[in-house]
Structure 1
């Protein structure tokens, strides 16, 4: 169905990606816990051509704190998106985009790269397209090289008509990066305030709010000092609004840095430590059994909605 069709546009709503091809054929992809896009070739980002030698996605970081702008900051997985996003180089490399933690190594000069494992979908560019004007000086030949994207293990990979795509989008909760954040806030408040469901489950319900995952869920509840089992309808309206506004703030930080950074007021040295280690980026997430950073109470771990929830029984009473 997609063979030979040219990609027209791509957009995301929360964790769902929608890609339009010629003749109004839409591809919907949801990576879920195990899905991943593996990229090979030359990657465009921020109006530059980049050869990506790390993984693009939630765990890359850019080290964008102004006080650290002259430093190259690697995290403990060896990731540094300063060298993988926006660097003006043209070598062929691999990059993986997923919620997992391991990237792919350079596969050499073979093109297109061999299909490895259970590839659900492959998107491949014309190997010798004419470059956009902004890239006319890139490369000795004046041409932009090819890019390949292989999709593995997604929760959803389906083709839709425009009407089906719009219907899917309508079922999703508000996303601060899509539409008016103020309107999104009102939708979020209306929905949460009438639900008897625990707030910890509501924040993970993509029909209530789009994009919040397990890390942000735990961190937002701690930052709000909110007991995670509180029914949505029992949460004060102003606190519901503050949850949404905190999500807007944290998401903007995530977009800017490429990291799920949820701690505030860090010094330059503390920021570097947080960029270098996931263990220093969060208040409670992945800290079960460790002392709370605020009150020293042991961080609790429980399963709720088939996902792990980390929280402080003292701060979040």
Structure 2
């Protein structure tokens, strides 16, 4: 499942690609056909992300209270993808849930967990369930701190809980905890405010880099050498997917465990 930086990067891309254009909207698969018919020919106004959720905003070009406005909520899940194509777009293949065609290009959405029309009330309800998103200017870290400080769940679990912090996935969870030297098994109630502030500040530093570059970069320049990355097309990590390998800083073998159904990586020495 893409982490929050990928959704923000996608929203920015689609805003540049389609913002202000009247789009052709269809659902070759058929599962979104009634909704696509309502959107077809409307103006694509904005794309924005909250954590791992993407919102498209549309209107009919009218002004003020007379304008018709619609929203689409998209959650890619594990298998969802947008594929961009130049015009003329080829005939759709596979299960294309939604096709958007603009002035110069189009995109096909395949395999999302959710692609649905949303009301303002539904958006409010979604946002009420999400913690602050470090990539949004309106994020309030106090909400996350209160949730962590009163919980005896492990901080490694809390950071992955979208109700606590929105947009954090397995890589950022493992790497930020390593960078600040916090054992992922520690209960939230044991974290100091200074430790939380350091975690939040590191998220504010690292996640915009992911938005700009399209990959998660977490290794500091002085440490960016030695053993290769866990995959040929990925930057190096400190601990993520490095179980049994020596820590880049102290040489201790990186450990692995399962935490609430997800793979967890940490250095038992640097994060003691």
Q: Give me the TM-score of the superposition, normalised by structure 1.
A: 0.66
Whole-Å Cα distance in 1 between the matches of residues 258 and 79 of structure 2? 19
Whole-Å Cα distance in 1 between the matches of residues 168 and 55 of structure 2? 18
- The 5-angstrom pairing of residues 44-193 of structure 1 reads 111-125=88-102, 127=103, 145=104, 147-181=105-139, 184-193=140-149
In the other structure, the counterpart of 1:13 is 50
Whole-Å Cα distance in 2 between the matches of residues 227 and 259 of structure 1? 25
Among 20, 23, 26, the alignment partner of 2:71 is: 26
Deviation at 1:255, TM superposition (A): 2.2
**Does the residue aligned with 2:36 lie in a helix, a strand or coil?**
coil
In the other structure, the counterpart of 1:255 is 211
In the other structure, the counterpart of 1:62 is none
Whole-Å Cα distance in 1 between the matches of residues 270 and 135 of structure 2? 30
**Does the residue aligned with 2:202 lie in a helix, a strand or coil?**
helix
- Unmatched segments (≥5 aa) in structure 1: 42-91, 93-110, 128-144
* Higher RCO (C-alpha under 8 Å, 6+ residues apart): 1
Whole-Å Cα distance in 1 between the matches of residues 154 and 115 of structure 2? 30
Q: Give me the TM-score of the superposition, normalised by structure 2.
A: 0.76
In the other structure, the counterpart of 2:249 is 294
- Unmatched segments (≥5 aa) in structure 2: 1-34, 60-67
Q: What value does the CA root-mean-square deviation take over the aligned residues?
A: 2.2
Q: Relative to 1, partners in 2 of residues 1:150 and 1:280: Cα closer, same or farther, differing over 3 Å?
A: closer
Q: Which has the higher helix share?
A: 2
Among 38, 60, 65, the alignment partner of 2:83 is: 38
